[in-house]
Structure 1
Amino acid sequence: MTKNWIASALTAIPLLLTSQVCMKQANALEGNKTPLTIERLYASPALAGSSPRELKLSPDGKQVTYLASRADNQYRYDLWQMDVVSGERSILVDADKLAGGELSDEEKARRERQRIYGEGIMEYFWADDSRALLIPAAGKLYYVSLATGKVEPLATGEGFATDARLSPKGHYVSFVREQNLYVLNLADNKLTALTTDGGGLIKNAMAEFVAQEEMDRMTGYWWAPDEAAIAFTRIDESGVESVTRNEIYADGIKLTEQRYPYAGKNNVEIALGVVTLADKRIDWVDLGAAKDIYLPRVDWLPDSRHLSFQWQSRDQQALDLRLVALSGLGNPRTLVQERSDAWVNLNQDLHFLKKQPAFIWASERDGFKHLYLFDLEGRLKQRLTHGDWAVDALEYVDEASGWVYFSGRKDTVIEKQLYRVPLNGGEIENVSQGSGMHDAVFAENKPVYLDYFSSLSQPPQVSLHDALGRQLAWVEQNRVDERHPLYPYFGLWQLPEFGELKAEDGQSLNYRLFKPVPFDAKKKYPVVVRVYGGPHAQLVTNSWSEHDYFSQYLLQQGYLVFQLDNRGSAHRGTRFEQVIYKQLGAAEVEDQKAGVDHLRSLAFVDADNIAIYGHSYGGYMALMSLFKAPDYFKAAISGAPVTDWRLYDSHYTERYLANPAHNAKGYEASSVLPYVKDYRAGLLMYHGMADDNVLFENSTRVYKALQDEGKLFEMVNYPGSKHSMRGEAVRNHLYRTLSDFLDRKLK
């Protein structure tokens, strides 16, 4: 097919928001009309078709690499390549050629934090010269030469190697083993331990729990660009409360001792060191007098003589970008300060320029996240973006041509587009094309990018583009034609209507409404309100999501499905997000009630049969909504909910509720437990019994409180399941249970 097909497909859905419903029910999508079954939702091959993950361009921009699942097992991945010029594709590394084996507990936990699920090849790293790749697999490391195609195991010694990567110039491989940092010289296979005191409560070069789970920092070490040194963290967990966590499996109970930093309790004590490869000398950076702090980001400057780090206060109302010279690690200076009366959000958008002494920094100082250019003295040189809309991320800086590429919501908040702006300031240009969600992956040394695109009518597809956004080639068109796994069901696939409502403070709330198939406006239909509702998330978008599969099933069973992004949700600026500060479950529930008020105004809605369903923060929202607004919801499904925020971790919880010692009333009002007495009927709860994110205790406390009140409810718990409820058998049983519950309560 030509580009014309994709251009027409992507512009088929107008998405400009107005105060009225902005997207009418589209005509049926092309495909057969086989009804969905729950068993088909997550069976192989995947309904979304071929959806490559871990997309990368070689640094020179000549090769595309990606992980592709197998048709007979969508959860096992091999490494594939595509030549940019010829378009020729081939498998680069078959996962079966790598040694299998059990993951270490540390690696299992790390993958859970990364939301990496599957088997085979799950990660890989390019060498800077584009001649080789590094593949970690089951604790072993493999070196892949692009010239020969050989896959060679590296001599890393005994034990499980984790957080492995190639050094910037490709001369070394680094990894963490048994809580110490190691370096392997690829020239002579000499293995060197750069730290030796790791073990027990001391962890070198490793990210602590809250860094992984809440700060999006999965590593604890950083190579200098010239390979002469490595910056690393040293964490001391001795002050963190030790808890015995029960992971309940079908054949027994696993007791895990974990240093868990509950809200208001002690965190790790963190230090930042720099180790020199030549002599293994370690020098320590002065992080200041305060010990109860966070270190969310560390970045080297291009000269390899200066190191930056972001210092965050325990209350997260202060964030400093600090700079230190290797010749004076005891004298950091502050370049930028961010302050808030609520909290300062973290991002990954710091970029130091190579051709001038300056850096790009993202800030919400004017209420929306935007990009700024500073010099190395911390003086503002240029605002690069501004307006009542938010930047998503800094994607690429082309210093040679003077362009800054970023993703954002300039045109509409329900889509993500790629833009560019001159490095010296000027007009913003739209680079991406087509209505939907665009995620760009740039080559390191060349302004070409992969566009990972999806919309409500298009499962994820991948294409290669030049600096102006012109399409050069398909990597995976993933067209839903007769050969596509989705085609038998696509004729019944439903697109939603979008619209806006007003919150009690006048701010606009976006929603989308899916109608049943077939739909008869003269009938009245029960409604399932699907909710998340927490910060840093957004449901109301024009994007493809496997989480919508169950919604499509419900539509075919005669339900309406409604979603509303309440205040506190992402991409709407600080005023919209920070309404929830110091009390959770208040404004969010009021906004969901406003959504139900709107539903009740629709002639085809059965106002007496409305349920709410959510997982994680959505599970919390389902409980709070049913307990606090029983006149609005006849039933609720709560999956893996936080029920008492004192049981959750420090960094996440204190960001929104402050320290329990300073906001006891807010914690009490934000807990589910005080509202148990107001529960009437219609509750189903489920939880993974090995959940190490939202601990199973959150649900058992509600179970006990409901039982003590003599109130009837339903529960289903899953032995061995973690927070994300992975596994085809688990999901089949879960969704059959949810469907049965809804049928009994709403029909």
Structure 2
Amino acid sequence: MSYVKSLLACAAVGLAGASMMNSVKADDRSADKLTVERIYADPSLTGPAPRSVKLSPDGKRVTFLKGKEDEQERLDLWEYNLADQQSRMLVDSADLMPGEENLSAEEKARRERMRLFAKGIISYYWGDDGETLLFPLGGDIFVYDLNKSGSDATKQLTKTDAYETDVKLSPDGKSVSFIRDQDIFMIDIETGEERQLTMDGEGPIKNGMAEFVAQEEMGRLTGYWWSPNSKKIAYLKVDETPVNIEKRYEINAEDFEVFEQRYPSTGNDNVLIKLGVLDLESGKTTWVDTSPQEIGGETDIYIPRVKWLRDSNRVSFQWQSRDQQTLKLMFADAETGKSHEVLTETSDTWINLTKDLYFLKRHNAFVWSSERSGYRHLYLYDLKGNLINQLTEGDWVVDNLYGVDEEKGLVYFDANKETPLEQHLYSVPMNGEGEIKKITDQAGVHSVSFSKNMSLFVDYFSSVEQPPQVSLRTADGELVTWLEENKLDSDHPYFKYYQQAPKPEFGTIEAEDGQLMHYRLYKPTNMEEGKKYPVVVDVYGGPHAQRVTNTWGARNTYWHHMMANRGFVIFSLDNRGSWNRGKKFEDPIYRKLGDVEVVDQVKGVDFLKTLDFVDPERIGMFGWSYGGYMTIMSMFKEPDVFKVGVSVAPVTDWYLYDTHYTERYLGHPENNQEGYEQSNVFPYLDGLKGDLMIIHGMADDNVLFTNSTKLFKALQDANKSFDMMNYPGSKHSIWGQKTRTHVFNTITDYFEQHLK
């Protein structure tokens, strides 16, 4: 979700109006029972879970980030060496940065967009030589030489007061690029010589940086790209001058800060954006014609993706119309800047963005994904935009394109071909002849990362019965070695709790239009015959999210288990509008939000009422972000169905939201005023009858606190009783061990008091 306006008045409302919940009974927090305190304590209940697992270019090592046992969110750099089959720490982040990292405001915002809350070494990059690793830490840049040992292996490249962000290694491994003070810089690894590449980044001008909606809504966190031959850099110049300046207040425990930010609220102006190609030898930038007359010359557009072709002479970019119903793949000449259209996708609703564009090395062709059939599938095109082969088809969804082994003629991807609840790795012949082959076999969700030559992949797997496992496998799925088997045995930190945990039940419910919706249900532990139990519906309900899958859900799963142990039925349903089911399943929410989603959740409750152990008079709902919005809309629209609700960081007024997200689903406000009004929560607040708790972070820069303060005032004016709990200094995720513990104890206590 994204960022909206805020009000200074929220300080008084948020701090003075917080409603404290009674604590959970002490006897329920014994060592033998799962508690919120244990869920957020160290060591992690998930077990050892390597992150950012990568294969070295030479295939000799697997590297990963791993949290410390006594501080799971502080990450260090590790390797698994295939030669000696040993794991070892390469870099201890605490040795290089003993204290807390002082993040810049830009980096804090960037990490919030990434939903990244770890510290220490959070990212790293391999050099093509397979002997060099690059990583940022504490606002500076370091390289690690695998040919050296001890303290000699790590070299610090920068040591400045400024904060270097978006660090990248050039493809030839000789240079490092980064953003400093809104400009692009590079540094020679061997000599340490630094060079500033752009000069005018200040105020509203940002070079090589992703604008707000690109970070928050498009999944693009960078604004510059190296050419494959390391001689050029394509970059975006963003001019925020047309965008309204909005004041955002971040309320802390003892003070508040006022931020002035150019925020493009729905219906208003976006940034001006230019795509340039910088020649590193001459220092000259050639500007690309991003809106040639052949496609209409429109300049009120988005550029969600940029990618070089293999020859380094051409750069591709994706041109997206303001209404997001047209997406064009464009190629531009790096020398002249002249561009032309290669292919076009259109939709009557909206087009989902992906990163599925792969240029072949040995053929003048590329693989592209499209939802033109109603489901995302893969297509092979030549460089002129002529279709060669449709590679996949059917009533199922391709989720990620991983790459192509051109020697074997195989395209690798993952999809939910067998069931929407799972995700598996597949291959398909590039020539369009032959069957799709399923490579992974364990039932659950697989996410993989291939080696450069596509001969090996790292498989990150989990299911409802298996915490995350990480293995190294050959391209045909054969196990090479476990990087982390993470067996759920008696030595596992979650073992004793798992023995008490209920196993989820999965099923389907038919929506009004006949489409099947998937649900997951946890029954209370140790159910008594004839007894009826309260239900908590845990909902998200919004686009681009799927909650019901056969996967290990980490902390959400632990809370579900804990609540089931406390005598609650826990139910989740992926209503229409949810992700990974195809456009027909998503499109019913177009131009009116909070409508069919609520209808579908009521369908879920109708099913629950057929179960003899469910108390139909004690149905509650809990959700965060869009789920918080869903909770409020359900409580307001269906007060006789949902008796208790806990809404965290909710959207309440879509007029306050950004252009890219809101207009994607509701269109431009000028063309759909009725849809906006009917999608806001305020027309329905008179319907509130039950107990409603609203929780919000008072420094939320995504769904701003204003969403809640506006609702607080409206409910007060309507003389409606409600509860609130607000968190000074917390952003959208309300993160931090102590804070999250308090949040989920508050949620738990509210349902204990009002639903049991």
Q: Which bracket does the TM-score occupy, shorter chain normalised? A: over 0.9
Quote the RMSD (CA, aligned, Å): 1.2
Runs of at least 4 residues off by over 6 Å = none
SS in 2 for 1:632: coil
Aligned pairs for 1:295-374 (under 5 A) are: 295-329=303-337, 331-374=338-381
Q: Name the structure 2 match of 1:671.
A: 680
Q: Name the structure 1 match of 2:178.
A: 175
Q: Name the structure 1 match of 2:449.
A: 441
Q: Name the structure 2 match of 1:53.
A: 51
Residue type at the aligned position of 1:110: R
1:33–1:491 CA contact under 8 A, matched in 2: no
Aligned pairs for 1:489-568 (under 5 A) are: 489-545=497-553, 546-568=555-577
SS in 1 for 2:615: strand
1:77–1:120 CA contact under 8 A, matched in 2: yes
Query: What CA distance in whole angstroms lies between the structure 1 residues aligned with 2:455 and 2:662?
Result: 39
Following TM superposition, by how much is the alpha carbon of 1:34 offset from its aligned partner in structure 2, in angstroms?
2.7
Aligned pairs for 1:193-592 (under 5 A) are: 193-288=196-291, 289-329=297-337, 331-425=338-432, 426-545=434-553, 546-592=555-601
2:403–2:454 CA contact under 8 A, matched in 1: no
Report the TM-score when normalising by structure 2. 0.93
1:625–1:633 CA contact under 8 A, matched in 2: yes
Query: What CA distance in whole angstroms lies between the structure 2 residues aligned with 1:359 and 1:117?
Result: 36
Q: Name the structure 1 match of 2:3.
A: none
Aligned pairs for 1:23-102 (under 5 A) are: 34-99=32-97, 101-102=101-102
2:501–2:565 CA contact under 8 A, matched in 1: no
Following TM superposition, by how much is the alpha carbon of 1:332 offset from its aligned partner in structure 2, in angstroms?
1.0
Query: What CA distance in whole angstroms lies between the structure 1 residues aligned with 2:148 and 2:517?
Result: 56
SS in 1 for 2:716: helix
Following TM superposition, by how much is the alpha carbon of 1:261 offset from its aligned partner in structure 2, in angstroms?
1.0
Moved more, 288-297 or 169-178: 288-297
Query: What CA distance in whole angstroms lies between the structure 1 residues aligned with 2:336 and 2:277?
Result: 12
SS in 2 for 1:110: helix
Query: What CA distance in whole angstroms lies between the structure 2 residues aligned with 1:46 and 1:270?
Result: 43
Residue type at the aligned position of 1:670: S
Residue type at the aligned position of 1:283: T
Q: C-alpha offsets along residues 257-285 of structure 1, whole Å, 9 cap, x if unaligned?
A: 11111111111110000111101101100
Following TM superposition, by how much is the alpha carbon of 1:720 offset from its aligned partner in structure 2, in angstroms?
0.7
1:234–1:273 CA contact under 8 A, matched in 2: yes
SS in 1 for 2:396: coil
Residue type at the aligned position of 1:649: D
SS in 2 for 1:76: strand
Query: What CA distance in whole angstroms lies between the structure 2 residues aligned with 1:39 and 1:187?
Result: 48
Q: Name the structure 1 match of 2:605.
A: 596
SS in 1 for 2:335: helix
1:683–1:714 CA contact under 8 A, matched in 2: yes
Instruction: Could you tell me which runs of 5 or more consecutive residues in structure 1 were left unpaired when the two chains were aligned.
Output: 1-31
Gap change, CA 1:237 and 1:528, over 3 Å in 2? same
Instruction: Could you tell me which runs of 5 or more consecutive residues in structure 2 were left unpaired when the two chains were aligned.
Output: 1-29, 292-296
Following TM superposition, by how much is the alpha carbon of 1:157 offset from its aligned partner in structure 2, in angstroms?
4.9
Query: What CA distance in whole angstroms lies between the structure 1 residues aligned with 2:163 and 2:184?
Result: 12
Aligned pairs for 1:114-125 (under 5 A) are: 114-125=114-125
Query: What CA distance in whole angstroms lies between the structure 1 residues aligned with 2:278 and 2:394?
Result: 43
Residue type at the aligned position of 2:535: V
Instruction: Give the fraction of aligned pairs with identical amino acids, expressed as a percent.
Output: 50
Out of 708, 720, 732, which is 1:723 matched to?
A: 732
Residue type at the aligned position of 1:654: E
Following TM superposition, by how much is the alpha carbon of 1:155 offset from its aligned partner in structure 2, in angstroms?
3.7
Q: Name the structure 2 match of 1:108.
A: 108
Q: C-alpha offsets along residues 631-654 of structure 1, whole Å, 9 cap, x if unaligned?
A: 111111110011011111111111
SS in 2 for 1:711: coil
Following TM superposition, by how much is the alpha carbon of 1:146 offset from its aligned partner in structure 2, in angstroms?
1.0
Gap change, CA 1:158 and 1:746, over 3 Å in 2? closer
Query: What CA distance in whole angstroms lies between the structure 1 residues aligned with 2:513 and 2:110?
Result: 41
1:245–1:256 CA contact under 8 A, matched in 2: yes
SS in 1 for 2:506: strand
SS in 1 for 2:670: coil
SS in 1 for 2:669: coil
Report the TM-score when normalising by structure 1. 0.95
Query: What CA distance in whole angstroms lies between the structure 1 residues aligned with 2:376 and 2:487?
Result: 35
Residue type at the aligned position of 1:536: H
Moved more, 493-502 or 661-670: 493-502
1:214–1:652 CA contact under 8 A, matched in 2: yes
Following TM superposition, by how much is the alpha carbon of 1:443 offset from its aligned partner in structure 2, in angstroms?
1.2
Q: C-alpha offsets along residues 146-183 of structure 1, whole Å, 9 cap, x if unaligned?
A: 11140000046552111011100101100000000001
Q: C-alpha offsets along residues 628-679 of structure 1, whole Å, 9 cap, x if unaligned?
A: 0111111111100110111111111110001111111000000011111211
Query: What CA distance in whole angstroms lies between the structure 2 residues aligned with 1:89 and 1:189?
Result: 31
Query: What CA distance in whole angstroms lies between the structure 2 residues aligned with 1:729 and 1:158?
Result: 31
Query: What CA distance in whole angstroms lies between the structure 1 residues aligned with 2:684 and 2:251?
Result: 28
1:272–1:284 CA contact under 8 A, matched in 2: yes
Residue type at the aligned position of 2:319: W
Out of 149, 160, 164, which is 1:161 matched to?
A: 164
Q: Name the structure 2 match of 1:14.
A: none
1:567–1:577 CA contact under 8 A, matched in 2: yes
SS in 1 for 2:671: coil
Residue type at the aligned position of 1:466: T
Following TM superposition, by how much is the alpha carbon of 1:84 offset from its aligned partner in structure 2, in angstroms?
2.2
Following TM superposition, by how much is the alpha carbon of 1:353 offset from its aligned partner in structure 2, in angstroms?
0.5
Following TM superposition, by how much is the alpha carbon of 1:446 offset from its aligned partner in structure 2, in angstroms?
3.8
Residue type at the aligned position of 2:66: A
SS in 2 for 1:690: coil
Following TM superposition, by how much is the alpha carbon of 1:189 offset from its aligned partner in structure 2, in angstroms?
2.1
SS in 2 for 1:102: coil
Q: C-alpha offsets along residues 343-392 of structure 1, whole Å, 9 cap, x if unaligned?
A: 00000110010101000000000000000000011000000000000000
Residue type at the aligned position of 1:360: V
Residue type at the aligned position of 2:258: L
1:61–1:446 CA contact under 8 A, matched in 2: no
SS in 2 for 1:588: helix
1:349–1:360 CA contact under 8 A, matched in 2: yes
